[in-house]
Structure 1
Amino acid sequence: MNIPSDLDRSVWTGRTDPEDGDLGRRWHHVIRPVAPEPGVALVGFACDAGVSRNRGRAGAAAGPLALRRMLANLAWHGADPPRLYDAGDVACVDDALETAQDAYADRIAALLHARHFPIGLGGGHEIAWGAYQGLARALEGDSRLERLGIVNFDAHLDLRIGPQPGRGTSGTPFLQIAGSRAAAGLPFRYLCLGLSRPANTRALLERAAGLGVEIVEDVEAGRSPAEARLERFVAESSAIYLTFCLDVLPPAVAPGVSAPSSLGIALHRAVELLRRVLDHCRHGRPGGKLLLADVAELNPRHDPDGRTARTAARIVHELAALSY
């Protein structure tokens, strides 16, 4: 497992309040290289080749760095003693997306084998295909793989057909996952939360229906039935992979993405729903179902005041604070 053994302390910097002792700790105080004790492991996927192939706005390759900088100064509310690790970045060189996804999958699998909870920092949503491959490698021979559920906070289904066989984009990961699972004789269980109907063609919606995808539209997300559907989906799953695409949020809070929403789910509601998923997964408790998560589509090139990165950091905080 090729994971860096040190940290870039020029990134992990921030405020220090010595008068508060350990109660004043922030992420930059507690982050460290990966250690044997199970903990939260941040993994960057510095890539936007999939976005470029999908004819989106490039710039997400710089997402992991921008996100770490926003995370650095957050107050630490996780475990004591802290077990928060930086597992480094997997970078995509030029258009070698498939090579980068395979390397990312290897890193995710190694972290899962070591009983860490990986949180991916994107990078375009092509991160999801790499993440799934890593999860499948780690769960080979494990019965939980059969009843895996994927919860995707996203305005888009990302079920596009790739430009060529074997070549994906940021818009294809869940169709790639569906194909992989079908080839292995496994069911495809996928819930897309926050879908924007105007941003998805009839072809995509019909493809989703044919695959049995569960959809909660953005206009439905504020209602209580959305919570009941989430609860049922998690209850019927043996394991959960959660991926949060920032374009599910309103452009006022997340302009720095490849394809901004016209509506989006209000940030406070998105956090409420995220917490529901974590609670139903028994996240951070023995037997918890959530094995892997990531935040995708942070594009600093279109985030001049850093608000999207700040929002992404809040989502990562929610995922990490209750983990260990």
Structure 2
Amino acid sequence: MRVDQFCMDAWTGRVDPEADSARWHQRVQPLADASQPGLALLGFACDEGVQRNHGRIGAAGGPVAIRKALANLAWHRDAPAYDAGDIACDDGDLEAAQTRLAYAVRALLDAGHQPLVLGGGHEVAYGSWSGLAGHLGKQPAPRIGIINFDAHFDLRDPAHVRSSGTPFSQIADQCVARDWPFRYACLGISRASNTRALFTRAAELDVWVREDRDISESTLEALGRELDAFANDCDALYLTLDIDVLPACEAPGVSAPAARGVAISLLEPLLLRLKASGKVRLIDVAELNPLHDIDNRTARAAARLIHVLTSSD
């Protein structure tokens, strides 16, 4: 993919004089310059799904905001990182944008990279998963585990309208069509923000659910062991982070701020366990809305989570 210059322009920041003091902006290269596989950052500049779901639009600006927040963070990676540009949806054709995203994700995986998709609304999930499914589809019935840290199930019925609220229902339908198992874990669910119908749908699909109130310092170790067991029963993991899982005080710049949420200090240990599994093939970050951010607080939180997941030490 060609990387638009405006994407690379986001990679600026402080330069320190001491040795071994690099920051992300000094190490991220255009994908065209890749000489070996690495982390590939791919933007999905889209909030058509959020608009269809009657949320606060602005998530299309998420990819650039995350790049800018990442740019000045200290570099703690051994492997390279590349910018693969943006997939944009500026004509209202969400389905076509998701198809382009799926093609780009598959191409990155086929080339040996680990894609990290920067959303965009959570409609990004259907395109992301479709790319991973295309990559793994040569093997019979791959066991793809979806782990979604999110205040919402996003299991609405896509027969009404496809939106940021329907991606995991769409994925479930695709699994049925392909005769693949549907393995979905959703952690951080807000009971106040999900109807009884959505809880029923989750039960019908055998979704592993942990509500925001179930995640605390006292439950972290047990929850971590459950995550380990979930990962061990999968061939590959797709990790999707909806930033609205964080409390509104940590992430005000989202489509639907969380009154309670799950603090970043509780998320990090769980993410580190998933990282240690060695099975995470694809990551995306959704719902950052810079139009409603305060002092770049949400962008910084998203960048911190990416740093945790991608650093070597």
- Tell me the TM-score normalised to structure 2 length: 0.95
Aligned: 1:111 with 2:112: no
Task: Give the C-alpha shift of residue 186 in structure 1.
Answer: 0.8
1:151 to 117, 123, 147: 147
The 3-state SS of whatever aligns with 2:213 is coil
Segment of structure 1 superposing worse, 201-210 or 5-14: 5-14
Task: Give the TM-score, by structure 1 length.
Answer: 0.92
Q: Is 1:74 the equivalent of 2:73?
A: yes
Cα deviations by residue, 1:47-106 (Å, 9 ceiling, x for unpaired): 000000000000000000111001100000000xx4110000000023110011000111
Shift of 1:5: 7.8
State the distance in 2 between where 1:44 and 1:318 align.
19
1:242-294: CA deviation from partner (whole Å, max 9, x where unpaired): 00000111000001111111111111111111111111x22xxxxxx111001
Unaligned runs of 5+ in 2: none
1:237 aligns with 234
RMSD: 1.5
**Number of positions where the alignment pairs a residue of Structure 1 with one of Structure 2:** 308
CA contact (8 A) 1:45 1:89 kept: yes
Match of 1:285 in 2: none
Deviation per CA, 1:23-60: give whole Å up to 9, x if none: 11000100101214110000000000000000000000
| The one of 257, 273, 277 aligned to 2:274 | 277
Q: Please tell me the residue identity of whatever aligns with 1:147.
A: R
- Measured in 1, the distance between the counterparts of 2:59 and 2:8 equals 22
1:1-324 equivalences in 2 (<5 Å):
2-4=1-3, 8-18=7-17, 20-21=18-19, 23-34=20-31, 35-79=34-78, 82-143=79-140, 146-162=142-158, 164=160, 167-222=161-216, 223=219, 224-279=221-276, 281-282=277-278, 289-322=279-312
Q: Deviations over 1:215-253 (max 9, x none)?
A: 011111121322121111011111100000001110000
- DSSP-derived class of the 2:9 partner: coil
State the 1:197 CA deviation.
0.9
SS of the residue 1:51 aligns to: helix
- The one-character-per-residue Cα deviations of 1:151-194 (angstroms, maximum 9, x if unpaired) are 00001000001263xx5100000000000000111110000011
The one-letter amino acid of 1:303's match is: D
Q: Could you tell me the percent identity over the aligned residues?
A: 50
- Structure 1 segments, 4+ long, off by >4 Å, are 5-9
Instruction: Quote how far apart the aligned CAs of 1:146 are.
Output: 2.1
